[in-house]
Amino acid sequence: MNLELRKVQIKDIVFDTVDKIEDGVLHVDPKRLEELVLEDSRVKAVSFDIARPGESVRIVPVKDVIEPRAKLEGGEIFPGLFREDMQEAGNGITYCLKGMAVTSTGPIVGFQEGVIDMSGPCVDYTIYSSILHLCMIIEKQDYVDPHDHEEVVRLAGIKVAKTVAEIGFDVTEYETENMEWKPIGEKYAEFPDLPKVVYVYNCMAQGLLHDTYFYGRDAKALVPTMITPNEVMDGALISGNCVSPGSKTTTYMHQNNAVIRELLKIHGTEINFMGIVLNPLMTTLKEKFRDRMMTVREVKMLGADGVLISQEGFGNPTTDLMIVCQELENNGIKTVIITNEDAGVDGMSEPLPDSVQEANAIVTTGNSNATVMLPAMDKTIGILKEVERVCGGNVTSIQEDGRLLLEIHGIMGGHNLQGNTKLGAITI
């Protein structure tokens, strides 16, 4: 499996009547994008705007953040989403527009939608404040129910991201990253003296807008499955879930999974990165115990000496995190987990809703209940009033002077559970 990522750095975005990338500036025709989105009859209206780092701009409610990517050869990007047949992701040539994202907003679907400020204190809490945003403001037809509303926005965002990325095909200056992924047998023998490490990649699969899509299929239909880093980087995983904005794994976070990036960085020098087990986070105990059994079995098949597990969401999914950790440790496999804490606004509450004694190596992405006062912004892209309904916000969030009182929960990516965040904790 060989994937070539061609990374085109975007320095600015401007609206134009032609589509091109010139001197690092993305010129894009918003009318063409509007026509593309309106091909779905469930869309009532759509428009586009631009948000730049350092501007006095607030985007709310943010539904998804997507890095524009497109396939030059070797199949299609985001396979399984728009066609019945598909090729395995992770091969060929993929163009990536770096330093920017397609970011969707508009009337709220569910409380998974959060805030991104392009300046002020928010910059210290989320990486999204540091990139350019091509914002899609989308409104559904009145008859569309919440589940279809989420689908409408999700598919529109992916279509726009793919279309925008294709503009990069004409660019001749780019950074190249080659990703080779070998068969398990070869990998097992490749670095015999290094510890073999597997990544257990938890993803939401709980229904009621708590979903992730793998090759276009709802993850509720999955069982724990071995996957490769190449597939993840090539759009096999798409966000469609309803969890805290702070911990939500957006499509952007799947495409730039920080755990995978760090494991690849030390592969061959400190560890032998053997692969990934994708574990769908289900709702019932029976499903959790089944998935624990299957996850541990696949980790053992990969010959792991150690495992790193990332979480998505909070509350119910913490049980999956803990019981998988417990079973791995009981099988002699050293395990580290990544989770956030929900310790109350004063930090004095029980931080985790579930725990086991075997979970003795934990990386925290901070207390999501801590509050932050965000200053008033000159411009809002989206609907400010909707902040009262997002996780981390409430009816008193909007202050009389325009400031915004919010829990870190409400900041998009504020405590990302793959560690792609600016928060953490220290022992004192």
Annotated catalytic residues are: 242
Q: 3-state SS of the chain: helix, strand, coil percent to 5?
A: 25, 35, 40
Tokens for 280? 């769908």
Determine how β-strand 225-227 pairs with β-strand 114-117.
unpaired
- What gap in Å lies between CA 192 and CA 61, rounded to an integer? 49
Biggest distance spanned by C-alpha atoms of the chain: 64
- What gap in Å lies between CA 312 and CA 337, rounded to an integer? 12
Closest by CA position to 158, among listed 37, 10, 8? 37
Tokens for 269? 């020098």
- What gap in Å lies between CA 71 and CA 79, rounded to an integer? 10
* Residue 330 φ/ψ, nearest 5 degrees: -65, -20
Q: What is the Rg, in whole angstroms, of the alpha carbon atoms belonging to the chain?
A: 21
- What gap in Å lies between CA 417 and CA 428, rounded to an integer? 22
- What gap in Å lies between CA 245 and CA 238, rounded to an integer? 16
Question: Under a CB-based contact definition with an 8 Å cutoff, are residues 264 and 187 in contact?
Answer: no
Residue matched to tokens 């952007």? 252
Residues 6+ apart with CB under 8 A from 298: 224, 225, 226, 277
Paired residues of 227 in beta bridges: 276
Tokens for 142? 């009145």
Query: Coil, strand or helix: which one is 72?
Result: strand
Whether omega before 61 lies within 30 degrees of 0, making that bond cis, reads yes
